[in-house]
Structure 1
């Protein structure tokens, strides 16, 4: 019989999958303003996920408090690794875009830029804090951790990185597939960091937050 904890994890996985993989957020947007729908979904999942894993999160935080220097340098090297991976896969994505004669950018990046222009502070909070928390709980704390129990680590890392990239697609068009290659670098980087740091989710979480924050700083400077 399934335990209450496993039932809670299953509910979290189903909610995330329905809302983001199968675009359930769009259905909610038909009932309320799309911006409110997106923010509401992220807040609910962030609170629910934090409550669901509160014991493990508290334990991991206490471990970090005992090794602050290790945590600092782990996050710093992880951030540099993320930047290198993002640049490398972004370069590959751009080469593919030129090869196929594609113009413009992916819908995900375009939506972020539009929302940033309308509500810069709010979108920054969600993209740099709440969004990474929800994604790390789903992709690393649940998906990668459970896949590693039955699959080789390298295969688990690749599958989770691929899943992360694909969830940033908004259609099945060629331009979206090419754009997903850029996100694959980040998905692999976060998963590798998670494995390297003995499944302590705070490492990829903070690296994820720093990575998104850097992107938003660049976006803010570019919009001036």
Structure 2
């Protein structure tokens, strides 16, 4: 029988979170390693398939760990009110991204985060990686990251304490998983993580934070790919 976070020791909960965190950090390296052997026929395709299989596997594992902690169905059809909330929340994240990037440009003369630079580098390495990583970033990453950084963190830590503690923790851990070269960049991802955590916690529906995250990633990925291909 699978156990909830309340039934696990704090050490076990920390180890589970660290393990899932390391898996998320590791998975892009599969494509990076494959890119080193572009001249070897088939290697990049094998790397792309392995990347997708492992990434989907992490999503399935994350859901398997999270599911016992959820007391109600999570993936019912979206209501019009929920759709409205998703777009409003995305709008808030978009505005905050613009503000943070503006101050990052003013203070550090940096036009984008280190995480975005890493994504650009990976996407521009070859066409196969661009397609596979672009798809995964838009449609798989939101499930993986929400199951881990929202679902597991919210249900494993400070669940019965002040409501904001695990929201803040979720944002900080989420930001640690995204490369930052300065405090403003770190604050950007932390704030986004906190907004997503609040969205999940308030609604009780992981689908809500997944939808916001997916909308954000899809728009960002389209803009990034278009800029790499045509600008």
Work out whether the TM-score is over 0.5: yes
Count of residues in Structure 1 that have an aligned counterpart in Structure 2: 206
Partner of 2:218: 213
Cα RMSD after superposing both structures: 3.2
CA deviation profile, 1:166-214 (whole Å, cap 9, x unmatched): 22127xxxx25443233223212211212232x2110110100000111
Residue 143 (structure 1) aligns with: 153
Which of 118, 141, 147 is equivalent to 1:111?
Answer: 118
String of CA shifts for 1:96-122, please: whole Å, max 9, x gaps. Answer: 314xxxx57544212211222222221
Distance 2:176 2:107 in 1: 16
Tell me if structure 2 keeps the 8 A contact 1:78–1:207.
yes
Q: Distance in 2 between matches of 1:216 and 1:68?
A: 26
Distance 2:13 2:52 in 1: 21
Unaligned runs of 5+ in 2: 36-46
Give 2:39's aligned residue.
none
Q: Conserved in 1, the CA contact under 8 Å of 2:21 and 2:177?
A: no
What is the aligned counterpart of 2:74 among 29, 39, 60? 60
Task: Tell me how far 1:221 sits from its aligned partner.
Answer: 2.5
Does the 8 Å contact 1:148/1:156 carry over to 2?
A: yes
- Provide TM-score, normalisation by structure 1: 0.75
1:43-91, Cα deviation, whole Å (9 max, x unpaired): 2211222334457498122xx43x6222211212121122122223333
- Return the alpha-carbon distance in structure 2 between the equivalents of residues 112 and 159 of structure 1: 25
Please tell me whether the aligned partners of residues 100 and 185 of structure 2 are also in contact (alpha carbons under 8 angstroms): no
- 1:132/1:60 CA distance change after superposition, 3 Å: same
Give the deviation of 1:126 after TM superposition: 0.9
Structure 1 residue 191 corresponds to structure 2 residue 197:
yes
After the TM superposition, which segments of 4 or more aligned residues of structure 1 sit over 6 Å from their partners? 7-11
Return 5+ residue gaps in structure 1 as ranges. none
Contact 1:141 1:201 in 2 (8 A): yes
Residue 169 of structure 1 aligns with which residue? 179
What is the TM-score with the length of structure 2 in the denominator?
A: 0.73
